[in-house]
């Protein structure tokens, strides 16, 4: 868990120590600090003892929460760093469900709502598209951007269908091919692209300009069309096709940059794009 950044986040008036993991691209939270918030316990020793008791209870129940807990050195009140039990967002949500607390209720209701939405979306996938459109509107995106983003989801799905047909495995191989395509057409891996925009956990495509979305779609459409003709087998042949498709977008990007005299790869994020629409001013 290298190249991480320490942060202290406030929940009302209480501090929660967190650490961003650049490699895994996720936040780690101090378990004791979360417990202190949920139990409204200002005494660190009592919160730590509660966690010790809860760990034994969870282990007896066969819960995986404790085994999924890690340790990182975090600063204490004396300024020194000590090994501290930490866990990620998913496990924190499970922890919340294990602690009777007034502060936990909003989280439990939210979890139930999200779970119900996912069930609805599995029955009718159009619901997820409708929700996405409404979310983008609330964030201030323009209608033209939203239309491009929804189209990009369709284009991505067509490409992953080809990958599935060729035997590419979801997860790491999907991510590797995505990185390969991104680096080929934009010159940046997905992680480098996100760093360029100052993103962490946020979705990269949700933070692309219209131009970036179109170029990324061109790479994926080209790769999909080539795959349909060449019918690649396995990861390595699919990687060759993916790179070939991305070269099409690279050529388009280079021509566009030559014509405009500026980079097609923008540092703008969703926040910037929303501000541009609301304020009517151009963001530098």
3-state secondary structure of 73: strand
The tokens describing 170, both together, are 């979801």
The tokens describing 118, both together, are 């996912």
* CB environment 246-263: b (16+ within 10 A), e (fewer): bbbbbebbeeeeeeeeee
Tell me the average pLDDT across 161-180.
Answer: 92
Q: Phi/psi at 61 (nearest 5 deg)?
A: -85, -5
Task: Report the distance separating Cα 7 and Cα 27, nearest Å.
Answer: 10
pLDDT digits (tens, 9 = 90+) for 180-234: 999 999 999 999 999 999 998 788 998 999 999 999 999 999 999 999 999 999 9
Q: How many CA atoms lie within 13 A of 35 on its CB side?
A: 21
Confidence of residue 126 (pLDDT cuts 50, 70, 90): low
Q: Which residues pair with 72 in a beta bridge?
A: 84
pLDDT digits (tens, 9 = 90+) for 25-60: 677 889 998 888 888 888 888 999 999 999 899 888
CA-atom Rg of the chain in angstroms: 23
Confidence of residue 240 (pLDDT cuts 50, 70, 90): very high
Where do the domains of the chain lie, and which CATH numbers do they carry? 5-104 (3.10.260), 142-279 (no CATH)
pLDDT digits (tens, 9 = 90+) for 86-119: 988 788 878 887 887 776 666 555 445 544 554 4
Task: Report the distance separating Cα 11 and Cα 34, nearest Å.
Answer: 9
Task: Report the distance separating Cα 82 and Cα 72, nearest Å.
Answer: 8
């Amino acid at each position: 868990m290298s190249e991480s950044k320490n942060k202290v986040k406030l929940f009302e008036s209480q501090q929660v120590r967190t650490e961003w993991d650049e490699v895994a691209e996720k936040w780690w939270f101090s378990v004791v600090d979360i417990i202190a918030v949920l139990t409204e316990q200002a005494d660190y020793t009592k919160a730590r003892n509660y966690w010790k008791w809860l760990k034994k209870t969870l282990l007896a129940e066969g819960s995986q929460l404790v085994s999924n807990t890690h340790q990182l050195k975090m600063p204490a009140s004396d300024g020194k760093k000590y090994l501290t039990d930490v866990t990620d967002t998913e496990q924190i949500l499970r922890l919340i469900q294990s602690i009777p607390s007034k502060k936990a209720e909003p989280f439990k209701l939210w979890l139930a709502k999200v779970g119900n939405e996912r069930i609805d979306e599995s029955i009718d996938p159009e619901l997820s598209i409708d929700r996405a459109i409404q979310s983008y509107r609330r964030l201030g995106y323009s209608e033209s951007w939203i239309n491009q983003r929804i189209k990009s989801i369709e284009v991505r799905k067509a490409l992953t269908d080809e990958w599935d047909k060729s035997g590419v495995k979801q997860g790491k191989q999907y991510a590797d091919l995505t990185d390969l395509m991104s680096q080929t057409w934009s010159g940046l891996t997905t992680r480098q692209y996100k760093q360029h925009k100052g993103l962490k956990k946020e979705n990269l495509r949700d933070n692309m300009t219209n131009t970036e979305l179109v170029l990324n779609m061109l790479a994926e459409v080209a790769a999909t069309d080539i795959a349909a003709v060449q019918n690649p087998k396995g990861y390595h042949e699919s990687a060759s096709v993916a790179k070939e498709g991305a070269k099409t977008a690279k050529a388009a990007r280079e021509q566009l940059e030559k014509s405009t005299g500026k980079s097609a790869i923008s540092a703008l994020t969703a926040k910037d794009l929303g501000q541009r629409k609301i304020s009517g001013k151009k963001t530098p």
